[in-house]
Amino acid sequence: MIKEKILASSIQAYRDLYDQSVSIELSGIQKTKKDFEGDYTLNVFPYLKFSRKSPEETASEVGKYLLDNLDEVQKFNVIKGFLNLVISDDFWIGINEEIYTIQDYGIKKGDQTKVSEVIEFSSPNTNKPLHLGHIRNNLLGWSISELLKANGRIVKNVNLVNDRGIHICKTMLAWQKWAGGKTPKDLGIKGDKYVGDLYIRFDKEYKKEINEIKSQGLEGDEADKNSELMKEARLMLSKWEKNDPETLKIWNTMNGWVYEGFDSTYKALGIKFDKTYHESETYLLGKDLVLQGLNKGVFYKKDDGSVWCDLSDEGLDQKLLLRPDGTSVYMTQDLGTAQLRFDDYHPEKLLYVVGNEQNYHFDVLKIILNKLGKHWAKDITHISYGMVELPSGKMKSREGTVVDADDLMSEMYEASKKLTIELGKTEDIDSAEAETLFRQISLGALKYFILKVDPKKNMVFNPEESIDFNGNTGPFIQYTHARICSLLAKAGKIPNQVSKPGVISGKERSIIKLLNDFPGIIDEAGKNYSPALIANYVYELAKEYNQFYQETPVLKAKTEEQKQFRLQLSANTSKVIKSAMKLLGIEVPERM
């Protein structure tokens, strides 16, 4: 890597010029700002105490040293204490040739014998279909997994389905009371959508009942305690935990409807899991862990029979682990799930892709597991992300104002189809290829728009902005890739080694520099769990190539050497765009 080579030579320069050994931590190298001539910039200010000279003198001396001792450095210039280095054209031409010969450029191969990360994402409830919030979660989880794999890691994707609890019982009760025994098949709708509608129905009926109770003078918890619907739901939960056959039969049937719907949505999104856990299977293990902790004095029991963990030594409050009736809470279930997951894979890290509203929950989870003596608790990482909203505002499941994932993908498909046809991008392809293209563009628009945003930030998803063939969008990048494929198809075979064109243009240099950055971007994105770094990188690459394409003749270049070099550069750009977009879970068409 040229950056490492420059860094090592600059450290040697301080040793030879000023008889001083400087640390790598103190040294730094950055890309030269666009306003100045150069490829890389060194800051000499930290070393003035060694050189005992002005910033300009020090930078000039180090620059001359590098020019004399590093073949790649062609020239340099000094701006105050900043040394700007210009790397030779021959070096960049060599990088272009090297990239062309590497099939999986930028992708690392690591130890294939041990699971390094288990990453949990999706984590839906079986009382509603997947919605826009789930889409962000799934896309982040999938892309982070792909980034880790590209860094040579062995990753297992797991899902945790919340298939038990009072909210599930609400939908079961709603089906008993108001569905008339009808199934999703009877109504011709997806099972998860049907069950979600029942959840909304329960909430409407419950609110109606609460308003009637409040009119009689009861408020808050007292009103809830006197709700007959909630009493029935709690009774159903108790029956479920006691394995009542009739309750379990309804539960299994309705969950089956939901799972079928989930599988359809995951397939449409291109999401796959190595294993799916169910809270109905893990909460008992969690209860066992809590009882073990209680026996060891790690936890304590109140007079009402509830079990708690005292977190005051950690600056937190008391955490409920078992209710007075012995039923578990979310924390109990997550304790069991974490233990089971560790036992299954013995990974180096347990990763959880969960919204930032659960930051406190995961802090507590790690503390409690540590109190239980689980040495691997320190290796739990919560990959927190911000909320996703629509231009119209927040979504609420109970009120039925969420954006259903299937409906959104369908609307995106129709919008992509309409725009693609209007722009005349399907004139030379048959209907089957056109359908594939509409799907690729719609999913590319959706995935890219969501993943280009820093995961930690809240975001507004605007469907209209996402489907645009101009600007920082998925379709723009997809079109760039198709444009290059068309160019390469016209050109025919390109040799692995081409004659050097001599001098390369600024745009050609800029593209090669971006291509050279790709392995480092993959590394940085993996370390930061940030697909946004890949998304914005590939946009810059596509934008730079489009400017090059507009300004520079390729097939009609002045010399054969220039033509072959530019074709090789185009092929490299196509390869990296395809690889980068794959890390985001996005397909790139070859024609559009």
d(CA 80, CA 362): 48
Bridge partners, 84 (sequence order): 41, 77
End-to-end Cα spacing for the chain: 36
Name the residue with tokens 């054969």.
560
CA distance 356 to 527: 19
Neighbours of 390 (CB within 10 A): 16
Q: What is the value of pTM for the model shown?
A: 0.92
Domain assignments of the chain as residue spans, ordered by start: 2-87, 121-140+164-273, 276-395, 406-583
Using alpha carbons only, what angle is made at residue 202 by residues 201 and 207, rounded to the nearest 5 degrees? 100
What is the pLDDT, as a whole number, of residue 337? 95
- One-letter identity of residue 584: L
- Tell me, what amino acid is at 74? Q
Interacting residues of 138 by C-beta distance below 8 A, sequence separation 6+? 121, 122, 130, 266, 269, 271
Q: Which residues contact 257 (CB under 8 A, 6 or more apart)?
A: 183, 184, 191, 192, 194, 195
Classify 403 as helix, strand or coil. Answer: coil
pLDDT for the residue numbered 129: 94
**CATH 1.10.730.10 holds for 406-583:** yes
Per residue, the 3-state secondary structure of 240-257, as one string, reads: HHCCCHHHHHHHHHHHHH
Residues 51 and 15 sit within 8 Å (Cβ to Cβ): no
Residue 395: the pLDDT is 44
Beta bridge partners of 276: 159
Q: Which CATH architecture describes the domain 2-87?
A: 2-Layer Sandwich (3.30)
| The pLDDT of residue 373 | 96
pLDDT of residue 398: 45
- Whether 276-395 and 121-140+164-273 are alike in CATH topology: the answer is yes
Q: Say which residue the tokens 């899902």 belong to.
A: 159
Q: The tokens 């596509």 sit on which residue? A: 542
pLDDT in tens, 166-209: 999 999 999 999 999 999 999 999 999 999 999 999 999 999 99
Beta bridge partners of 117: 155, 349
Cα(300)–Cα(291) distance, rounded to whole angstroms? 10
Sign of the four-CA dihedral 282, 285, 286, 287: positive
Helix runs in 319-430, H state only: 330-345, 359-371, 405-422
Return the pLDDT at 28.
77
Cα gap 243→238, rounded to integer Å:
9
- Render the burial of 236-252: b for 16+ CB within 10 Å, e for the rest: bbebbbeeeeebeebbe
In angstroms, what CA-CA distances link 510 with 308, 440, 507, 514? 60, 29, 5, 6
Query: What kind of fold does domain 121-140+164-273 have according to CATH?
Result: Rossmann fold (3.40.50)
**Ranges in the chain, pLDDT < 50:** 395-400
Where do runs of H (alpha helix) occur along 506-559?
Answer: 506-528, 531-551
- CB 173, CB 202: distance < 8 Å: yes
Highest CATH level, class, for 276-395: alpha beta
Q: Give dist(CA 248, CA 271) in Å, integer.
A: 29
Closest CA to 141 of 153, 157, 125, 162: 157
10 Å Cβ neighbour count for 162?
Answer: 17
